[in-house]
Structure 1
């Protein structure tokens, strides 16, 4: 193992950790959705893991194809930027729509009413919408900072770098959601519970705005 590869592997771990921790969209949507829907921790973590894997895998697939076909890194970086822009706007739109639905839910039901056609459709659609948004959203540093430099080493180097980056990224997402969910479970929110969906939508909306306009 060359010194360059060792540096790349350490970089993959550190970039995956920092990139995830500094991006509130990597954990806040799952925390607030799980709390609003009164999910168990295992279900919340399950959705987090699936979305996290999809998030990393989409960039890995694009990066591998780019390396195999010989696409210039600048073009892939541009394409990943377009995907990131679409994902951020998708998160903004999802948060806004969910907040509007949450407000209607509060005004109509006042309590934890979980019946009716409209509520069921939103309940089933929410995880799928999050997965699509995360699958569309790129891991911006993965291709230019890790995959392309690793490709100059060997195919095994690309596999090692992407694996470490993916494991650290998803693992950090899970730890952040786990820690926050456990902390919130110790706090009673009875008075805010009727507004849980509205507040969740607002927080997701704000997360999307932070990504789109603050670059977090």
Structure 2
């Protein structure tokens, strides 16, 4: 395995774990549902896996766009021999732009999804901005099947540029490895966080980082791109 692929895989692991841990919505609802419905640990993990697979599946479908972009980069006339360098610069540029967008989004306090857990165990999903009042009629009751739909419609966008690089290098092995590693670590992180909550362990205040998750993902990609372009990782 070459150094470039190792760096991409490390970035995929970092993003998948960051994306999950800093987003309480990836595990708190499963913990609440398990308590409200008196689920066993096995059933709780099963629903976590199903929703996690839906989440990763939509991310992979979005990542196909990255594959298409990578193939396009590799076919630019007269630049065939430079395709690795072009892909590296594309990775760096996307990471920088995504970081800036993520910081701007955090500062602008954009509306985002949240789950609300009532005392009777019912869970409701809604969108809001920090500081806004959300009225009961603006909330939708959550069932396990609704959770599956929500996760299926919520992909992880940073997978796009990660798949662009091996696609530009015509590395099917690299693309498969990225998808497999991203999937495994996303699911593992979700399961670990859910089981910690299921057995009563408290979490760090990861919710404080939630609004910066896009900026953190972009910065991780940017560092990877810097390594590809300037440090010849």
Same fold (TM over 0.5): yes
Please state which structure has a larger fraction of its residues in strand: 2
Instruction: Please give the residue correspondences for 1:185-200 in structure 2 after superposition, counting only pairs within 5 Å.
Output: none
Instruction: Please give the residue correspondences for 1:18-37 in structure 2 after superposition, counting only pairs within 5 Å.
Output: 18-37=18-37
- Hey, what does 2:188 align to over in structure 1? 171
| Deviation beyond 4 Å, 4+ runs, structure 1 | 69-74, 88-91, 98-103
Which ranges in structure 2 are unaligned for 5 or more consecutive residues?
74-89, 103-109, 123-140, 202-206, 214-233
Which ranges in structure 1 are unaligned for 5 or more consecutive residues?
82-87, 104-121, 185-206
The answer on whether the counterparts of 1:52 and 1:173 sit within 8 Å (CA) in structure 2 is yes
Relative distance call for 1:45 and 1:57 in structure 2 (3 A) is: same
**Counterpart-to-counterpart distance in 1, 2:7 and 2:46:** 32
Instruction: Please give the residue correspondences for 1:77-88 in structure 2 after superposition, counting only pairs within 5 Å.
Output: none
Deviation at 1:63, TM superposition (A): 1.5
What RMSD, in angstroms, separates the aligned Cα atoms of the two structures?
3.2
- Hey, what does 2:145 align to over in structure 1? 128
Is 1:147 the counterpart of 2:200 in the alignment?
A: no
TM-score (norm 2): 0.57
Deviation at 1:49, TM superposition (A): 0.4
Q: How many aligned residue pairs are there?
A: 156
The answer on whether the counterparts of 2:68 and 2:164 sit within 8 Å (CA) in structure 1 is no
Relative distance call for 1:91 and 1:42 in structure 2 (3 A) is: farther
**Counterpart-to-counterpart distance in 2, 1:102 and 1:3:** 49
Secondary structure at the residue paired with 1:140? coil
Please state which structure has a larger fraction of its residues in helix: 1
**Counterpart-to-counterpart distance in 2, 1:46 and 1:102:** 20
Q: Which residue among 180, 183, 189 is the counterpart of 2:200?
A: 183
- Hey, what does 1:159 align to over in structure 2? 176
- Hey, what does 1:52 align to over in structure 2? 52
**Counterpart-to-counterpart distance in 1, 2:5 and 2:121:** 49
- Hey, what does 1:111 align to over in structure 2? none
The answer on whether the counterparts of 1:91 and 1:133 sit within 8 Å (CA) in structure 2 is no
TM-score (norm 1): 0.61
